[in-house]
Amino acid sequence: MGLAVGFLLSLCIVIAYYFLSYIGESTESVKTETQFAYTRVEGPLQPLPEITFINERWRDLGKALFNSTLLSADNTISCASCHLVDFGGDDGFPVSTGINSETGSRNSPSVLNAVFNVAQFWDGRSASLAEQVEGPVHNPLEMGTNWEQVIAKLNADDVFYNMFAEISSNGISKEAIVKAITTYEESLVSHGAPIDRYLLGDKTALTEQQVRGLNKFQQYGCVSCHQGVNIGGNLFQKIGRIDAVSELFTMDLGRYGVTGKEHDKYVFKVPSLRNVAETAPYFHNGKVSTLYEAIEIMGLVQLGRALSPEDIRDLEALLHSFSSPMEGN
Amino acid sequence: MDVQPWHNKGVNALRFWPEILVLVCFVVLGTHAVDAWREREVANRNYRLSEDFQYTVSELTIATLMVDYATTENYDKQAQLLLKAEDIWREMSRKEDLQDAWQSYNNNVAHFIQLASVLKTSRRFVSDSEREFDNHLNSFGAVGKPLIALLFTFETRLNDAIAQHVRDYIAQNETSLEEISDVGMQWSMLKLHIEFILNNTQEVSHLIRSINEQPLYAVLQQHTRLTGEQWHKASRHFYLVSTLLLLNVLAILACVFARQAIALKYSSRKAFAAAEAKSQFLANMSHEIRTPLNGIIGLADICLRTPLDKVQKGYMEKLLFSGKSLLTIINDILDFSKIESKKLDIVPVDFEVEALLSNIKTMSASQASEKGLELIFVIAPDVPRVLHGDNIRIGQVLLNLVGNAVKFTSEGHVVIRLEKVAGDAGEDCYRFSVEDTGIGLSAAQINKLFGRFTQADSSTTRKFGGTGLGLAISKLLVELMHGQINVESEPGKGSQFCFSLPLGPAMQTEVEEETDFPDPQLQGKSLLVLEDHPITMEVTSNMASQLGLEVTAVDTVKEAAQLSAKQHFDFALVDWHLPNQNGGLLLKKWEHTKVHPTNIIIFTAFDSDVFRNESGILDKYTIINKPILLHQLHDAFLDEVEDDEGLSIVAESRAVTSSSARVLLVEDNEINQMVAKEMLVNMHVEVDIAENGLQAIEKVNSNQYDLVLMDIQMPEMDGIQATTKLRETYSKDSLPIIALTANVMKDETEKYLQIGMNDHLGKPFERQALSLIVEKYA
């Protein structure tokens, strides 16, 4: 009957309208599904949380993207070029090398445990990993490309095309790429460091010297900034808060570049000390190459304390207990 | 009937405007509902996020302010809350109003955390130094202690003057204080920390106040309230649109139903019109057939009354019979179609049972007697004399069944019984049964017996004739009267057709005095019955007993003669036709011996004409025709008692003697003119003829008539017009007008009565019907 056909037609129009109304906005949320279980212990340092759930398909896609040079303009570098997850999550250079062999302005931070940082980049300009992904891709000194190019290149690649088609509701999109990389980065949690075993009750996990170092770490006030699950990474601090630092560190205005506030000059995100022994050279510009030196400088300019060589060695020993070999990544 | 289908395609689209309208509304409302739904979803999400954000921000504020006092793990908690708040912030949309407040809050908190954490380190450093000062009170400690005390004073008062005081104190005592370096502490570091405390403590307390007084809280509360309101508004809007959409769907359904109702009405009107056309066609057909048939039957009838030789008479009789058969068939078809189209109404009236049976007798007795069949009526004593029902239709069914029984029985008898039985609901039912000794029916034949156009066997059609509609009509009629009809039969042994009807008692209280039986006049008198047929003998004996007679029944002339010789009987009832013998023989014997019953009545199945050849019988004896009815018998006995002579003749003819009557016959068809005129002349009526309505009016105006017989369909002016015109001058009483019509549809005849006709006479009419009409009105 005519009316039935008309009604079905109208119903189709309305339903089509319903689905069309979703097309305007991104159908793929960048929000990942990863969940963590935190274990709380007494004291300022906290063990790394366990991953209770992670979408492995997105994680694997993210890992592939992380290692893919298609994300750079000239197909020369990948995320992994500057963030070697098996070597502390950074590249070991003072500053990283991008496309066309151009060098960046800051030391590449570790990608390991980055999910627990309160903000990303040295100046904290990205509040989350998802926001952060965009930075290196667009940075002309790093990957120097844009999403249209990246998406076009990925679409042309059969492997990536199929991988995306399988799990993403709208194929290859900026959101899907970000979600995948973020999920992979969330999986990069470096469990198994001696300090974590110690915090979780294994009192033999640290050497005597390391225990001494831990006591000094707390007593001298290092923990004021370096605490929590990431032993840092959860607040901003001005380099040379107590004592003036050398000109070496004052060329970069830090967070001032983001907020424009006078009191944010020379303020940087306190870096996580996890795997610090593996991530030399140190500080935002990578101008200090040994832990010994770095501890000494920190004692002076942040704690206002001239640390004795013994103190420094104890602390250095402790910092080594923050390292864990990345397994399975 | 004005039923116009829409043939024009151009109008087609316009015709569906209600559907198109509701569907367009559906699309508009549907998309609107989708929008409203999405709007509501977004508003709800915003509201929840805003609430979440507000809660997280207050938690974050508490955690931030606690940093200064609690253990260092609070930093991490604070950082995580900040992360959570940032997460929610990213999820939120429509947050322009919050942007500045959140930025300022965020900066304040970050700045506070930075200073507070270092301040904590500095305080720890200072308290470490204080311990050294305590240990060395004899030397530099004496200078250091007051410095620490001063610093505490500053921290509690937060006074610039005190800060200056501290700085002055340091400047004055620096040399002594530097001695602290001897115990491993560095004076320069201590000085830096003290300077940091002096510089920043005020700032920190200012930041705490600032964080406590952030505009974010108020703005956020406002934002939450606003998004909540927006959510409620969006919800209300969505519900409104949904309700409208629901109503719209109902409207669509209403459209569907309305369309169906229209289609149904249209098709039922079409069907009604078709039925109307069919019955109109039937009426016309029957009219067209009846008119010539009227001529055939009428002329045959007239012809039979002229001197004819034996062969001619035989032909004419067969012609008459054929005409009548044809008429029956036409009547059957008409009846059937009337019942089918529900145009046949059952009209219950009070009727006399015996009158009904008497009619049946009149119609079928001669046929039965011709075939030598005994036709017997048995009415149970408890059946009232008068019943309430449609006697015409009951008679039709009964006549049909009797006709069939006679037709299919070659020898034996046909018994018609009427008994009172109890119906299903306990009401009074009357069961009419017709039992014959005919060819009977097989079970398979019975199954399709009451179907249309079927006879028990198609071969019977050839043998016995008939339309096969009779039983179908009977069944429909009985069902119309809320009765049941059924048949029991065995091939070769005869059949019994029964129908029972719920009939009420007489509506009108009987004015006539009910004759009570037994009759005192006949009480105790003796009766000799000579009858060879056992059933007839029994029935007759029963009736006579009912009347009060003492009955002796015999079945041979010999026995009758012997008995009557031995014993005197007041009455004798003699069957004329007996096997091997003749009733006449006994009569002759009695005449001869002079010893005979006082009153002798002959009863016979034969027409009285039979006795014309028997000399003197007709003059000497009372003759009653079989089958006999109680009242007939009663009347016959009474006649005998009252008549001294003991002999009387039942007048056979009821010839009209109104010779003075003058009738105007209005009829255009010449044959019919002739037939009617001939019949009327036979009734000794003076007849004038008009050929159409105009002539009729002329004649009525110039002559005096006792009766006008008016045909309906005529050229120039038809019967209806003429009657209408005549009624302007003449009343119903002064000039009776009878419609002569082949149109026997009920609504037609009703119309004739309405326009002022006194009665109607269906064509073809028979002499008897015509004579009744003339007798009544002229």
Distances (CA, A) of B62 to B50, B104, B109, B352, B540: 18, 17, 11, 113, 126
CB neighbours of B444 closer than 8 A, spacing ≥ 6? none
B664 forms bridges with which residues in the sheet?
B688, B708
Nearest-CB residue to B121 (from A18, A227, A303): A303
**pLDDT tens digits for A69-86?**
888 888 888 888 888 887
CB neighbours of A134 closer than 8 A, spacing ≥ 6? A126, A178
Under 8 Å CB pairs connecting chains A and B tally to: 148
pLDDT value at A24 more than 70: no
Nearest-CB residue to B111 (from A13, A263, A304): A263
Distances (CA, A) of A130 to A172, B137, B525: 16, 58, 133
B575 forms bridges with which residues in the sheet?
B603
Q: Say how far apart CA A136 and CA A115 lie, in whole Å.
A: 17
Cβ–Cβ under 8 Å, residues B700 and B743: no
The segment with the largest mean pLDDT, out of A303-317, B188-202, B333-347, B660-674, is: A303-317
Q: Are B86 and A3 within 8 A, CB to CB?
A: no
Disruptive mutation site among A9, A40, A242, A300 for chain B (greatest number of B CBs within 10 Å): A242
Q: Is B775 helix (H, G, I), strand (E, B) or coil?
A: helix
CA-CA-CA-CA torsion sign (B366, B368, B374, B378)? negative
For residue A326 the two structure tokens come to 């990345």
The whole-number pLDDT of residue B541 equals: 85
The whole-number pLDDT of residue B230 equals: 92
B349 forms bridges with which residues in the sheet?
B389
CA distance, residue A289 to nearest chain B CA (Å): 25
Q: Are A228 and B196 within 8 A, CB to CB?
A: no
* Alpha helices, H only, B609-738: 617-620, 630-642, 670-682, 693-702, 719-729
Bridging pattern class, strands A267-269 and A50-53? unpaired
CB neighbours of A114 closer than 8 A, spacing ≥ 6? A89, A120, A129, A132, A185, A188, A233, A272
Distances (CA, A) of B97 to B100, B109, B125, B210, B721: 7, 20, 44, 20, 96
pLDDT value at A234 more than 70: yes
Disruptive mutation site among A5, A9, A10 for chain B (greatest number of B CBs within 10 Å): A10
B711 closest CA partner among B730, B727, B691:
B691
Disruptive mutation site among A45, A115, A123, A234 for chain B (greatest number of B CBs within 10 Å): A234
Closest residue on chain A to B189 (Cα):
A304
Contacts of A234 in chain B (CB under 8 A): 75-76, 78-80, 82
pLDDT value at B156 more than 90: no
Q: Say how far apart CA A195 and CA A319 lie, in whole Å.
A: 9
CA dihedral in degrees (B203, B208, B210, B212; nearest 10)? Answer: -170
Q: Say how far apart CA B99 and CA B103 lie, in whole Å.
A: 6
SS (H, E, C) chain A: CHHHHHHHHHHHHHHHHHHHHHHCCCCCCCCCCCEEECCCCCCCECCCCEEEECCHHHHHHHHHHHCCHHHCCCCCCCHHHHCEHHHCCECCCCCCECHHHCECCCCCCCCCCHHHCCCECCCCCECCHHHHHHHHHHCCCCCCCCHHHHHHHHHHCHHHHHHHHHHCCCCCCHHHHHHHHHHHHHHCCCCCCHHHHHHCCCCCCCCHHHHHHHHHHHHCCHHHCCCECCCCCCCEEECCCCCCCCHHHCCCCECHHHHCCHHHCCEEECCCCCCHHHCCCECCCCCECCHHHHHHHHHHHCCCCCCCHHHHHHHHHHHHCCCCCCCCC
Closest residue on chain A to B80 (Cα):
A118
Residue range B300-309: mean pLDDT, rounded: 84
pLDDT value at A176 more than 50: yes
Q: How far is Cα of residue B137 from the mean position of the Cα atoms in its chain?
A: 120
Q: Is B636 helix (H, G, I), strand (E, B) or coil?
A: helix
Closest residue on chain A to B77 (Cα):
A228
Bridging pattern class, strands A50-53 and A35-37? antiparallel
Q: Say how far apart CA A80 and CA A67 lie, in whole Å.
A: 5
* CB proximity B654 to A under 8 Å: no
Q: Say how far apart CA A292 and CA B480 lie, in whole Å.
A: 121
CA-CA-CA-CA torsion sign (A186, A190, A195, A197)? positive
User: Hey, how many other C-beta atoms are within 10 angstroms of the C-beta on B475?
Assistant: 21
> Phi/psi at B637 (nearest 5 deg)?
-65, -45
Residue range B554-581: mean pLDDT, rounded: 78
* CB proximity A241 to B under 8 Å: yes
CA distance, residue A117 to nearest chain B CA (Å): 8
Q: Are B73 and A227 within 8 A, CB to CB?
A: yes
* CB proximity B124 to A under 8 Å: yes
CA distance, residue B196 to nearest chain A CA (Å): 7
The whole-number pLDDT of residue B626 equals: 77
For chain A positions 98-157, those within 8 Å of chain B (CB to CB) are 118-119, 127-128, 131
B376 forms bridges with which residues in the sheet?
B415
The whole-number pLDDT of residue A274 equals: 92
- Active-site positions of A? 142
Of A26 and B263, which is predicted with more confidence?
B263
The whole-number pLDDT of residue B69 equals: 67
pTM above 0.80, yes or no: no
For chain B positions 758-777, those within 8 Å of chain A (CB to CB) are none
The whole-number pLDDT of residue B615 equals: 55
Q: Is B612 helix (H, G, I), strand (E, B) or coil?
A: helix
Cβ–Cβ under 8 Å, residues A254 and A264: yes
For residue B260 the two structure tokens come to 């169906």
* CB proximity B318 to A under 8 Å: no
For chain A positions 280-319, those within 8 Å of chain B (CB to CB) are 302-306, 308
Q: Are A2 and B19 within 8 A, CB to CB?
A: yes
* CB proximity A265 to B under 8 Å: no
Residue range A203-209: mean pLDDT, rounded: 93
The whole-number pLDDT of residue B57 equals: 92
Contacts of B127 in chain A (CB under 8 A): none
Residue range B265-281: mean pLDDT, rounded: 85
Q: What is the DSSP letter of B690?
A: E
* CB proximity A11 to B under 8 Å: yes
Amino acid at B594: K
Q: What is the DSSP letter of B766?
A: P
Residue range B66-74: mean pLDDT, rounded: 66
pLDDT value at B690 more than 50: yes
The whole-number pLDDT of residue A312 equals: 94
Cβ neighbourhood burial of B404 (10 Å; 0-12, 13-18, 19+)? buried
The whole-number pLDDT of residue A317 equals: 94
Q: Is B671 helix (H, G, I), strand (E, B) or coil?
A: helix
pLDDT value at B647 more than 50: no
Q: Sorting pLDDT into bands at 50, 70 and 90, what band is B6?
A: very low
* CB proximity B108 to A under 8 Å: no
Distances (CA, A) of A236 to A121, A201, A264, A290, A300: 11, 30, 9, 23, 18
For chain A positions 22-41, those within 8 Å of chain B (CB to CB) are 31
The whole-number pLDDT of residue B609 equals: 56
pLDDT value at A207 more than 90: yes
**pLDDT tens digits for B101-128?**
998 898 888 888 888 888 888 888 888 8
pLDDT value at B507 more than 80: no
User: Hey, how many other C-beta atoms are within 10 angstroms of the C-beta on B624?
Assistant: 18
SS (H, E, C) B278-311: HHHHHHHHHHHHHHHHHHHHHHHHHHHCCCCCHH
Min mean pLDDT across B243-252, B381-390, B543-552, B601-610 is at B601-610
Disruptive mutation site among B38, B41, B73 for chain A (greatest number of A CBs within 10 Å): B73
User: Hey, how many other C-beta atoms are within 10 angstroms of the C-beta on B370?
Assistant: 12
The whole-number pLDDT of residue A291 equals: 92
CB neighbours of B393 closer than 8 A, spacing ≥ 6? B346, B477, B480, B481
**pLDDT tens digits for B427-475?**
788 999 998 888 888 877 777 777 665 544 555 544 455 556 778 888 8
> Phi/psi at A22 (nearest 5 deg)?
-90, -15
pLDDT value at B2 more than 50: no
Q: Are A242 and B193 within 8 A, CB to CB?
A: yes
Q: Say how far apart CA B441 and CA B447 lie, in whole Å.
A: 10
For chain B positions 233-252, those within 8 Å of chain A (CB to CB) are 252
Contacts of A18 in chain B (CB under 8 A): 34
* CB proximity B650 to A under 8 Å: no
CA distance, residue A130 to nearest chain B CA (Å): 11
Nearest-CB residue to A238 (from B75, B82, B114): B114
CA distance, residue B73 to nearest chain A CA (Å): 4
The whole-number pLDDT of residue A95 equals: 83
For chain A positions 176-235, those within 8 Å of chain B (CB to CB) are 218-221, 223-225, 227-229, 233-235
Contacts of A1 in chain B (CB under 8 A): 256
* b/e burial code for range A90-127 (CB count within 10 A of at least 16 → b): bbbebbbbbbeeeebebbbbbbbbbbbbbbbbbbbbbb
Of B291 and B655, which is predicted with more confidence?
B291
pLDDT value at B374 more than 90: no
Angle at A155 between CA A151 and CA A161, to 5 degrees: 120
Q: Are A44 and B16 within 8 A, CB to CB?
A: no
B563 closest CA partner among B534, B544, B589:
B589
B737 closest CA partner among B768, B766, B699, B767:
B699
Q: Sorting pLDDT into bands at 50, 70 and 90, what band is B612?
A: low
The whole-number pLDDT of residue B503 equals: 85
The whole-number pLDDT of residue A25 equals: 57
Cβ neighbourhood burial of B268 (10 Å; 0-12, 13-18, 19+)? exposed
**pLDDT tens digits for A247-300?**
778 888 888 888 888 888 889 999 999 999 988 899 888 888 899 999 999 988
The whole-number pLDDT of residue A204 equals: 92
For residue A260 the two structure tokens come to 């424009």
Closest residue on chain B to A305 (Cα):
B189
CA distance, residue B233 to nearest chain A CA (Å): 20
pLDDT value at B286 more than 70: yes
The whole-number pLDDT of residue B651 equals: 37
Nearest-CB residue to B256 (from A3, A10, A228): A3
Name residue, tokens 């380099």: A239
Of B281 and B579, which is predicted with more confidence?
B281
* CB proximity B102 to A under 8 Å: no
User: Hey, how many other C-beta atoms are within 10 angstroms of the C-beta on B778?
Assistant: 19
pLDDT value at B655 more than 50: no
As a whole-number percent, the residues of chain B with pLDDT over 70 amount to 87
